Amino acid sequence: MSALLASPIDLHCHSTASDGSLSPQGLIALAVERGVHTLALTDHDTTDGVAAAQAAAAEQGLKLIPGVEISVTWQQQVIHILGLNINPQQTDLQQGLMALDEQRHQRAEKIAQQLEKAGIKDALAGASVYAKGGTISRTHFAHLIVERGLARNVRKVFRHYLVRGKPGYVAGEWVSLEQALSWIHAAGGIAAVAHPVRYKMTRTRLKKLLTEFKELGGQGLEVVSGTHSRDDNFQMGMLAQHFGLWASAGSDYHGPEHFWQQLGAIPPLPDTCSPIWRHF
């Protein structure tokens, strides 16, 4: 996709601080190249990339929205909550993210133990190399398994090793919806439910989630996502309107090797939507 076709606003992407493959500076350079003028950095459970992204954005005249994508366990299911326009220095938020980091390390150890039983040795050390000192995630184990020649690509690794029922799957114990929202609000941010279609919930269950989210003071829904189809975007636009939620839009960019999901490669919000960025 050419730069001209990219959306000027992209409120969801990942750097090497979590499971993205570009550094924060690299993301900013790419955003400039693609004509994205407002970018939110939303790494999984960390804001460690924000300062570097902000510095690079200031140099390039780009607006960087400090963000985070928090891992939540809601009714035995993992969901992701975006915190947008947060103060990354806020204490409650940082303490919460530190606890999540600890959870991630404990889970990574268990994943490695299980992979060891499946004949994959030293997986923790191997995955840590890919994590480059940032937040460790299943993606880093996936890269290692590809490197060892046990699967052709990351998607195949997930399917055969890292999802429920497979040898390297360990259910993460993340935080409650209430907790995630309280940290985001303490940090002065706006919370949005990320990529709602990805959870494969029934409409009834999704409505239950959004009802609870609203009751806890949640304000946004990621209507347009790089992981949604056009019809998904449209449907989520209707749902946002129904619940009175502000609409967010983000590519969920992880790096150039995920060629199907490029920075800024998202369509505009449906007309019915109230854009979340008006409230930053």
**Binding interface with Mn ion (CB under 5 A):** 19, 69, 80, 194, 252
Is 154 a residue that touches ligand AMP (CB under 6 A)? yes
From 19, 43, 48, 222, residue interacting with ligand AMP (rule: CB under 6 A): 19
Is 44 a residue that touches ligand AMP (CB under 6 A)? yes
Is 21 a residue that touches ligand AMP (CB under 6 A)? no
User: Among candidates 208, 222, 218, which has minimal Cα distance to 182?
Assistant: 218
Pairing, β 77-84 against β 190-193: antiparallel
Token pair 């991630």: residue: 104
Beta strand segments in the chain, E: 9-10, 38-41, 63-74, 77-84, 190-193, 220-225, 246-250
Quote the least distance from Cβ 52 to ligand AMP, whole Å. Answer: 21
From 137, 225, 235, 262, residue interacting with ligand AMP (rule: CB under 6 A): 137
Quote the least distance from Cβ 61 to Mn ion, whole Å. Answer: 25
Is 254 a residue that touches ligand AMP (CB under 6 A)? yes
Give the span between the Cα atoms of 86 and 191, in whole angstroms. 9
Is 228 a residue that touches ligand AMP (CB under 6 A)? no
Q: Which tokens in the block code for residue 147?
A: 């490197």
Give the span between the Cα atoms of 225 and 261, in whole angstroms. 10
CB nearer ligand AMP, residue 127 or residue 206: 127
Quote the least distance from Cβ 126 to ligand AMP, whole Å. Answer: 15
What Cα–Cα distance (Å) separates residue 156 from each residue in 153, 165, 245? 5, 15, 35
Quote the least distance from Cβ 89 to Mn ion, whole Å. Answer: 22
From 21, 47, 71, 261, residue interacting with ligand AMP (rule: CB under 6 A): 71
Q: Which tokens in the block code for residue 131?
A: 């994590």
Residue 42 backbone phi and psi in degrees, to 5: -130, 65
Q: Are 180 and 79 in contact (CB under 8 A)?
A: no
Q: Site mask, ligand AMP, residues 80-119, x = CB under 6 A?
A: ----------------------------------------
Site size for ligand AMP, by CB under 6 A?
11
Q: Which does 71 bind (CB under 5 to 8 A by kind): Mn ion, ligand AMP, none?
A: ligand AMP
Give the span between the Cα atoms of 128 and 135, in whole angstroms. 9
Residues that bind ligand AMP (CB under 6 A): 19, 44, 71, 137-139, 154-155, 158, 172, 254
